[in-house]
Amino acid sequence: MNAVMDVVAGELGEEPLLIWVDGGFPDLFSLPGLPWPTAVWSTRYLELSSFTRVLLVDDAISNMRRDLCRRAALTLIAEISLREGAADVAAKCAVGANLGRSWFVSDSNVMDDLEAMPISEVYVAVWFFGLAHEFGHHCDAEKFAIDPLSDEAILSFLRSGFDNIAAAPQLPFSFDTVLDQIRQQPGHPLHPRHLRGEVVADLFAAEVVLETLPGLMARAGAGRPHSLRIIAELLLAETQIGFIERCRGFAHLLQHRDNRALWQAHLLQPAAFHVRMVWLQSYLSSTIASMSATASTASPSTLRRWESVVSDVAASFTQSMAALESGLADAMRFALDDDMPVAAMIDELRVQRDEDKTGGTLLGFETRAFRELAASRQVSSVWLDAVVDALTPTRP
Ligand SMILES: [Zn+2]
């Protein structure tokens, strides 16, 4: 951690302050306006980010990836809703996440495993990309409001991101309407100024990881970093952030279902992440190309070679990213369906536990964080109490 904070300090020219929260809300954000560059980071965020990575890379789960992603999204939405006091939404999503669940990818109580992880490209990306991103928000992004990060360049990538959204033709607004709104509202979540801030923070984070990694791996006797692995892990880290952000945004949206502006911003989030991904990929190809070049700048052919390597690595995740996307859409459909027979599903969940030979021990262990959170909150509802009861193992 110290090595990373030293690099962050060197890049920002100021000592950063990290506020570390044990457990709590899955949060990661920067606090502008303090005398020091400050970021708040919860261990829960770290757990979720590593959990999302496993969902994306584990080949053993490829047949059920979409379902696991749906359950993961519902788990996260349930947790956030509970923290926001929306007990019924939390209960409904928790039952959706756990009814019929037979395969477990742990999303909580994994801090010990994360701390014991060997130092590698995976370790550094999981632990530090998101964290360094938040410190990256302390850079003056408007300095970069020129080519290639000009407003027009960002908007043109936003357009291609919009066209890439599978449901784009069915959305109740066109890109041109959105574009008019963006141009008129500087506070719009897709305003180039805002997106530029995110892109600059991402590139800052990638730079911190690239600078820290060789030293950390050498000190741990882990050899030299492997370029392909660095590329893969940074692209995955960006996807993890996107997934958590979108689940969080959706949980918030469930409390404000009539708010059209929130809906629009939520539906357009994939386009915003497309913009960030485009720049991250381009940064990685040019930086790794110059690192591997003998001269001070990479030749055009070296650059082209690394561009195609980066896009091949990105393409290798296409299927799992599509499963993540579909799983999230399934979770959203479930959460929005007011005709879902929640009470009957909770009864089924109880039957599932009672028919389990271990009395629901594994499910109980995996949902312990949710149950403890429900107990610690001053909110309750008939559904929430019933779900917590159905998730509680009958054997100690
Ligand atoms: Zn950010």
Distance from the alpha carbon of residue 115 to the mean position of ligand 1, in angstroms = 25
Q: Residue 186 Cα, ligand 1 centroid: separation in angstroms?
A: 17
Rounded Cα gap, residues 283 and 25, in angstroms: 31
pLDDT of residue 292: 81
What is the rounded CA–CA span in Å between residue 214 and residue 225?
Answer: 6
Query: Ligand 1: distance of its center to the CA of 385 in Å?
Result: 36
Model pLDDT for residues 17-69, shown as the tens digit of each residue: 888 888 776 777 777 777 788 888 888 888 888 889 999 998 888 889 999 99
Q: Which of 390, 395, 396, 394 is nearest to 96 (CA)?
A: 390
Contact 130, 237 (CB under 8 A): yes
pLDDT tens by residue, 119-133 = 999 999 999 999 999
Predicted confidence (pLDDT) at residue 383 exceeds the cutoff of 90: yes
Residue 228 has pLDDT above 80, yes or no: yes
Q: Could you tell me the distance, in angstroms and rounded to a whole number, from the CA of residue 132 to the centre of ligand 1?
A: 10
CA of 29 to the centre of ligand 1 (A): 7
Q: What is the amino acid identity at position 16? A: P
Q: How far is the CA of 133 from the centre of ligand 1 (A)?
A: 6
252 pLDDT more than 80:
yes
Ligand 1 centroid to residue 199 C-alpha, Å: 8
Span 159-170, mean pLDDT?
90
pLDDT at 225 over 90: yes
- Cα of 135 from ligand 1 centre, angstroms: 9
For 64-107, write each residue's pLDDT tens digit: 999 999 999 999 999 999 988 999 999 999 999 999 987 777 77
Mean predicted lDDT score pLDDT of the chain: 91
Check whether 390 has a pLDDT greater than 70: yes
pLDDT of 382 reads: 96
Q: Where are the domains of the chain?
A: 45-58+105-336
pLDDT tens-digit series, residues 323-344: 999 999 999 999 999 999 999 9
Whole-number pLDDT of residue 109: 67
User: Taking 80 as the threshold, does the pLDDT of residue 275 lie above it?
Assistant: yes
Task: Record the pTM.
Answer: 0.93
Q: What separation in Å is there between the alpha carbon of 201 and the centre of ligand 1?
A: 6
What is the pLDDT confidence band of residue 358, given thresholds at 50, 70 and 90?
confident
Phi, psi of 74, rounded to the nearest 5 degrees: -65, -40
CA–centroid distance, 287 to ligand 1, in Å, is 21
Share of the chain above pLDDT 90, in %: 67
User: Are 116 and 220 within 8 A, CB to CB?
Assistant: no
Confidence of residue 284 (pLDDT cuts 50, 70, 90): very high
